[in-house]
Every structure is written in structure tokens, then in C-alpha cells.
Amino acid sequence: MKITLQNIGRRFNREWIFKGVDYTFENKESYAILGSNGSGKSTLLQVLNGSLAPSAGVLAYSYEDKSVEAEDAFTYLSLAAPYLELIEEFSLNEIIDFHFKFKSYKTGLNRQSVVDLLSLPGSPNKLIKYFSSGMKQRLKLALAFCSDTPMLMLDEPTSNLDSQGIDWYLSLVERYSANRLTIICSNQEHEYSFCKNRLSIADYK
């Protein structure tokens, strides 16, 4: 998946969060979007994934040299973000089955292997509403990494994770981020150190 930005800007009311972004996110490459709290990383990620319209400029998607309409971009995307809610009334098994009605499993994976990968305490029939914040974060990451999409976007991927959880996240990166456009919003080096490209929001103020 390739995303091309021409003179992209986003404002809320009269305040420009970023402007003049000319940038190309290339297929199968890894990118870190960097900046301090409140600088606009999540806003840019939402513009990139089509959930927020830019206030200025042109954004174009293409996949295997064919252009993709902005309203279809989500079908190519896996996203894990703090503002993305899990359905609390589902059990672990149910939420995995529900998620993979809309996405395909990466080769060799199925419901049981996702459950095993999570290595969470308790039964797979436990309801999500009883998960701790770290367990919920692991689940969001596992669903995103294990989906067979050409685009992976992660916002603050290790929030609520302990040091074991951070190592677990890095093992997912190693196993499941190759050969897909990966974009990470972060201000913690351990989350994005593997990214080959860096984009700083401060350059677009």
C-alpha cells in the first residue's frame, strides 16, 4: 500500500495542527510519526487512515499500482489505537471470531493460535469487560498484527504494557510487520526503533 500526501494540512477550528505535509509512505516500508504530547501524531494517523478528512491538500492511496478510493482504504488497514474501542460484551473467542469476519488471518493463523499468541491468564470465554488495560492492549495489538492487510497502523502501541508486554510487542513486530506498510505514532524509542523512516510533526507547524 502506498499513501501520497500533497500539501496536506488539518486544523481544528482556527488552529492548524499541521500543514504543508508533502510526503510519500511507500509500500512495505516502516515509518515512525514523532512529536511531543498534543503535537498532532494521532490526528495525522487518522487523516492517513481515512477516518478524518484533511482540511487542505490531496491524499491518494494505491495498491499494486492501482489507485484505491479513500472510502475503501479501511479494507486494506489494520489499526490498534487507544481511541479504538473493543466490544466489551464479547468474550475473547467471540471478539476474535467477529474481527476475522471482516479481515483474513495471516497465513497459518486461526482463532486458537491468536488465543495462544496472547498468552493471557484465564479462559477464552472471559468477557472483554473483565480484561485489565494491559490485556486489552495485547488483544488490540494481536488482532491488528494477525490480520492479513497490506497496511498496519499503531498509535502508542505499548501503552499499558509492562516490560514483558513490550518484549511481546517486539516479537510481534519481528514476526508480522514485514512486507506491509507499517506506521507507528510514538514518543517512546523502544516502540519505533525498528522503523526505517521518521517523520516529525514539528517540521509541519
Ligand X SMILES: Nc1ncnc2c1ncn2[C@@H]1O[C@H](COP(=O)(O)OP(=O)(O)OP(=O)(O)O)[C@@H](O)[C@H]1O
Which residues here bind ligand X, judged by CB under 6 A? 12, 17, 35, 37-43, 185, 187
Cα 181 from Cα 164, distance rounded (Å) = 26
Min dist. Cβ of residue 45 to ligand X (A): 8
Min dist. Cβ of residue 140 to ligand X (A): 16
Pick between residue 139 and residue 185 the one whose CB is nearest to ligand X. 185
Strands (E), the chain: 2-12, 15-25, 30-34, 56-63, 66-68, 77-80, 151-155, 181-186, 197-200
Min dist. Cβ of residue 44 to ligand X (A): 7
- Reading across the β-sheet that carries 2-12, which strands appear in turn? 15-25, 2-12, 56-63, 66-68
Min dist. Cβ of residue 13 to ligand X (A): 7
Pick between residue 42 and residue 137 the one whose CB is nearest to ligand X. 42
Start-to-end C-alpha separation, the chain = 27
Min dist. Cβ of residue 148 to ligand X (A): 27
Query: Which residues have CB under 8 Å from 93's CB, separation 6+?
Result: 111, 115, 124, 125
Q: Which residues pair with 149 in a beta bridge?
A: none
Pick between residue 13 and residue 107 the one whose CB is nearest to ligand X. 13
Min dist. Cβ of residue 40 to ligand X (A): 4
Sign of CA dihedral 87, 91, 92, 98: negative
Pick between residue 115 and residue 166 the one whose CB is nearest to ligand X. 166
Q: Mapping DSSP to helix (H, G, I), strand (E, B) and coil, where does residue 7 land?
A: strand
Pick between residue 43 and residue 182 the one whose CB is nearest to ligand X. 43
Got the DSSP string for 137-172?
HHHHHHHHHHB--SEEEEESTTTT--HHHHHHHHHH
Pick between residue 34 and residue 181 the one whose CB is nearest to ligand X. 34
